[in-house]
Amino acid sequence: MPLTRRRLGALAAATLTPLARPAIAQGAPLRVGLMLPYSGTFAALGENITHAIELYLASRDNKLGGRAIQLVRLDDESSPPNAVQNVNRLLGRDRAEVMIGTVHSGVVMAMVQAAREKGVPLIIPNAGNVAATRDLCAPTIFRSSFSNWQPAYGMGRALAAQGVRKAAWITWDYAAGKESGEGFADGLKAGGAELVKVLTLPFPEVNFQPLLAQVPSLGVEAVGSFFAGGGAVQFVKEYAAAGLRERFPLCGSGFLTEGVLGPQGAAAEGIRTALHYGDGIDNPTNVKFRAAFQAKAGRPADVYAVQGYDAAQMLAAGLDAAKGDIAAEKEFVAGIRAARIDSPRGAFTLSASHNPVQDIYLREARGGENRVIGVAAAQLADPGTGCRMA
């Protein structure tokens, strides 16, 4: 961020005032902190989420619940070691009163921790760690995206419905990979099938060869996987190059083919994935949203943009109910809990643990698009095990 007088002033204020007094007067704008990756591998996602939030705010004249909104951006660089310090900066130095963030599951935990300790409202527009809406849930923590368990569960159900009895799971050895794997296993079980083997490699390595060479001897009929971004490109291409696609069809959580079909090319053609968004959803909200996003950001909307848009909608629901007063926590929380979000993905409500209850679509990669061909799991709620909230 460039050096501005406002930032210098904020730094001076933060250094010299012993007590950070929140702005209570209705006249003062509400400071909404966006802690997102604006640099690093996930920068495009951070930008898309921000564009979508700004889009929604513009449609509400930048006022929610009668209160003007001031967005404060902080680049978290998708760096877990710096996460705690960055949250401190956002809340202490930049005096944000509401947090929206972030993309990386390792970073979001620091935000979850701060929300639990300090009661600051947090709306998560992407990171899917199940903990945020399970054992670490809290009244002021909400999510507008998904839990890692949901899309993979949908894929498991769909696979079992196609007649597969035994499958394997390949992923990176980190939270998102593990939690998706559990969802996949649960989905298979619900459909009468079985997950027989999990193969992992450390994140973010891309030396898949040792794992791919094991696939033929596993005794499975299909292989599910979770990879995202560049790793997904590499994996799909190598899977095809190893000649595995005919005998062991590849599928997985939607991120395997989300935003990466171009580089993946022919290797991805026909791959089925499950996600809460896809190409070809033609409800009026989606059509309008996609047009507006394209006009504002100069590129097509993706699942991250939708999640950002819905995070803004959820914030609006809370502030409308609280009449702009962020200190009225009960009303704020009740407002979001009761809301029915008119999302481009299809309308959804929130589960008791504050995660979206949504349709998981089954998509097929065809001609550079992830075409929705059906619903893998309808109105799916994350189990929310271990969440203890009033």
Partner 1 sequence: MRIAARPGHAALALAALAIAALPFWAAPYTQQLVANALVAAMFALSLQLLVGGAGMVSLGHAAFYGIGAYAVYLLGKAGVGSFFLTLPAAAALGGLAALLVGLFAVRARGFYFLMITLAFGQMLFFLFHDTPLGGGKDGVFVARPALAAFGLDIAVPRRARAAASLWVNLAVLAGLYLFCLWFMRTLYGRALQGIRANEHRMQALGFDTARLRLGVFAIAGAAAAIAGHQAAMTEAFVNPDLLGWHQSAQALLMVLLGGIGALHGPILGAFAYVGIVELAQIVTERQRLVQGAVILLAVLLLRRGLAGVFPLARAP
Partner 2 sequence: MLGAQLLNGIQHGLLLFLISAGLTLIFGVLGMINLAHGAMFMLGAYLAFAVVGAGAPLWLAFPAAILGGVALGAVLERGLFRWFREREHLDQVLLTFALILLFEEARAALFGNAFHGVPVPALLDFSVRVTADFAYSAYRLAVLAACLVIAALLFLVLERTRTGAAIRAAAEKPDMLDLLGMDARRIHTIVFAAGTALAVLAGALAAPLTSVYPNMGEGFLIVAFVVVIVGGAGSVAGAFWTALMIGMVDTLGKAYVPALAGLAIYVLMAAVLLWRPAGLFARG
Question: Which residues contact partner 2 (rule: CB under 8 A)?
Answer: 39-41, 43-44, 173, 199-202, 204-207, 209-214, 216-217, 229-231, 233-234, 237-238, 241-244, 247, 263-265
Q: Which of 5, 25, 117, 219 binds partner 1 (CB under 8 A)?
A: 117
* Residue 15 in contact with partner 1, rule: CB under 8 A: yes
Identify the DSSP state of 96. Answer: -
Task: Measure the CA–CA gap between 239 and 6, rounded to whole angstroms.
Answer: 51
- Asked whether 156 and 181 are in contact (CB, 8 A), the reply is no
Applying CB under 8 A, among 33, 37, 46, 106 the residue interacting with partner 1 is 106
Q: What is the closest distance, in whole angstroms, from the C-beta atom of residue 236 to partner 2 in the complex?
A: 10
Question: Rounded to the nearest whole angstrom, what is the least distance from the CB of residue 368 to partner 2 in the complex?
Answer: 15
DSSP-assigned letter for residue 82:
G
| Closer residue to partner 2 (CB): 97 or 258 | 258
CA angle, 211 as apex, 205 and 172 as ends, to 5°? Answer: 40
**Which of 161, 190, 194, 203 lies at the binding interface for partner 1 (CB under 8 A)?**
203
Sign of the torsion formed by the C-alpha atoms of 215, 183, 161 and 347: negative
Q: How far is the CB of 342 from partner 1 (least distance, A)?
A: 34
Strand pairing class (98-100; 67-75): unpaired
Is 285 an interacting residue with respect to partner 1 (CB under 8 A)? Answer: no
106 contact, one of partner 1, partner 2, none, CB 5-8 Å limit per kind: partner 1
Residue 295's binding partner, choosing from partner 2, partner 1, none, with beta-carbon cut-off 5 to 8 A by kind? Answer: none
Return d(Cα 220, Cα 230) in angstroms, integer. 26
The DSSP H or E segment spanning 53 is helix 43-59
Task: Identify which range of 11-19, 242-250, 290-298, 358-366 contacts partner 1 by CB under 8 A.
Answer: 11-19
Query: Does the footprint of partner 1 cover residue 105 (CB under 8 A)?
Result: yes
Are 132 and 110 in contact by the 8 Å Cβ rule? The answer is no
Select the residue interacting with partner 1 from 22, 66, 92, 374 (CB under 8 A): 92
Cβ distance to partner 2 smaller for residue 31 or 245: 245
- Which amino acid, one-letter code, is at 287? V
The least CB distance from residue 173 to partner 2, in Å, is 7
Residue 11 is a binding residue for partner 1 (CB under 8 A): yes
Q: Is 27 exposed, middle or buried (0-12, 13-18, 19+ CB in 10 A)?
A: exposed
Pairing label, strands 141-143, 122-124: parallel
Distance in Å, CB of 301 to partner 1, minimum? 25
Angle, to 10 degrees, between the axis of helix 329-337 and the axis of helix 303-321? 130
Whole-number Å distance between alpha carbons of 321 and 198: 46
Query: By CB under 8 A, is residue 124 in contact with partner 1?
Result: no
Q: Which is nearer to partner 2, 196 or 242 (CB)?
A: 242
What residue type is 282 in one-letter code?
Answer: D
Let me know: does 211 contact 225? Beta carbons within 8 Å. Answer: no
Rounded to whole angstroms, how far apart are CA atoms 326 and 70? 13
Query: Is residue 88 within the footprint of partner 1 (CB under 8 A)?
Result: yes
Name the binder of 300 from partner 2, partner 1, none, CB < 5-8 A by kind. Answer: none
Write out the two tokens for 199: 């193969």
173 forms part of the interface with partner 1 (CB under 8 A): yes
Residue length, the chain? 390
Q: Residues 221-250 vs partner 1: string with x where CB under 8 A? A: ------------------------------
Indicate the SS3 state at residue 387.
Answer: coil
Q: Which is nearer to partner 2, 200 or 349 (CB)?
A: 200
Contact positions vs partner 1 (CB under 8 A): 1-3, 7-8, 11, 14-18, 20, 38-39, 75, 77, 80-81, 83-85, 88-89, 92-93, 105-106, 109-110, 113, 117-118, 173-175, 202-203
